[in-house]
């Protein structure tokens, strides 16, 4: 099975998506989930979103794509993050 591809986005593609990406990469390593990761600004979803298996966003997404989008804010705050990690794992291991 090919590696899944995960796109992390925030308003600028720099700050909050970096923190969430680092935490998700660590989670995936700890749980034996192999994936490729990329990070961009939210405006890029319209052009490249369909190329990914999962999008993790820390801001509002207005682009319409068939790729599943997970709200990454709980990973930043630590409130409700277990459910988000579980959803990410479910998508990446399906």
What residues are annotated to the active site? 10
Residue of 5, 51, 60 whose CA lies nearest to 28: 5
Asked whether 75 and 84 are in contact (CB, 8 A), the reply is yes
Residue of 45, 36, 47 whose CA lies nearest to 68: 45
3 state DSSP class of 68: coil
């Amino acid at each position: 099975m090919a590696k899944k591809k995960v796109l992390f986005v925030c308003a600028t593609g720099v700050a909050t998506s970096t923190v969430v990406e680092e935490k998700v990469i660590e989670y995936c390593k700890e749980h034996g989930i192999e994936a490729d990761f990329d990070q961009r600004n939210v405006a890029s979803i319209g052009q490249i979103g369909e190329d990914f298996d999962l999008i993790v966003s820390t801001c509002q997404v207005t682009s319409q794509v068939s790729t599943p989008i997970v709200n990454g804010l709980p990973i930043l705050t630590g409130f409700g993050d277990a459910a988000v990690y579980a959803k990410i794992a479910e998508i990446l291991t399906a």
